[in-house]
């Protein structure tokens, strides 16, 4: 039987690497899935991804942990969104983040506060397509594994909770 464990992270450098390393070590997964496309892992085109995902990939390589990417390359931003628009959103989100731990954003209430700010630049049709593609990618990768640790942005935790009802979400309680 497969044990799925989801951990939501915060992008933009807010996830503590030592804490993430401890979670990975304590979980001792047979498979580590990270929010990077598998294609980009294979091509080593990873610099555009969140720091904590790159950190987890490198940690897995150093410790001989099988690591695969499950992300989708669907761009979820509304047409016309600029990098300036993204920076404005990030600055607003930082005000919520600064008084909490990255782990706290696995909890629904805080997760929703961040999402509400970010929703202004998200195309929800694309967002739904992306999450469903990530779900399918995970389902393909978990076959015949015992313990699978899945690192994803905390904004995806509600979707995965709904779609992987037998999975564990240890930081969400």
Coarse DSSP helix, strand, coil percentages of the chain, rounded to the nearest 5 percent: 55, 15, 35
Query: Other C-beta atoms within 10 Å of 171: how many?
Result: 20
**Separation between Cα atoms, residue 121 and residue 81, nearest integer Å:** 7
- What pTM was computed for the model? 0.94
**Separation between Cα atoms, residue 130 and residue 124, nearest integer Å:** 9
Mean pLDDT, the chain, rounded, equals: 95
The beta-strand segments (E) located in 10-144 are 31-34, 67-69
Is the pLDDT at 145 greater than 90? The verdict is no
* Phi then psi dihedrals of residue 137, to 5 deg: -60, -40
Tokens matching residue 131: 């999450």
Q: What is the structure's pLDDT at 168? A: 97
- The residues facing 34 across adjacent strands are 69, 151
Residue with tokens 């509600």: 158
Cβ–Cβ under 8 Å, residues 144 and 64: no
Give the model confidence (pLDDT) of 5-50 as tens digits. 999 999 988 999 999 999 999 999 999 999 999 999 999 999 999 9
Q: What residue spans define the domains of the chain? A: 3-163
User: ∠ CA(73), CA(165), CA(172), 5° rounding?
Assistant: 80
């Amino acid at each position: 039987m497969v044990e799925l464990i989801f951990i939501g992270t915060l992008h933009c450098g807010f996830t503590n690497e030592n804490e993430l390393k401890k979670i990975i070590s304590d979980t001792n997964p047979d498979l580590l899935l990270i929010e990077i496309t598998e294609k980009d892992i294979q091509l080593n085109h990873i610099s555009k991804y969140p720091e904590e995902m790159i950190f987890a990939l490198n940690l897995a390589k150093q410790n001989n942990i099988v690591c695969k990417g499950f992300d989708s390359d669907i761009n979820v931003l509304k047409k016309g969104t600029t990098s300036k628009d993204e920076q404005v959103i990030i600055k607003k989100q930082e005000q919520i983040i600064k008084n909490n731990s990255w782990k706290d954003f696995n909890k629904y209430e805080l997760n929703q506060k961040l999402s509400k700010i970010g929703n202004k630049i998200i195309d929800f049709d694309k967002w739904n397509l992306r999450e469903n593609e990530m779900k399918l990618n995970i389902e393909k990768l978990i076959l015949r594994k015992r313990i699978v640790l899945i690192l994803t942005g905390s904004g995806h935790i509600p979707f995965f909770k709904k779609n992987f009802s037998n999975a564990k979400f240890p930081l969400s309680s």
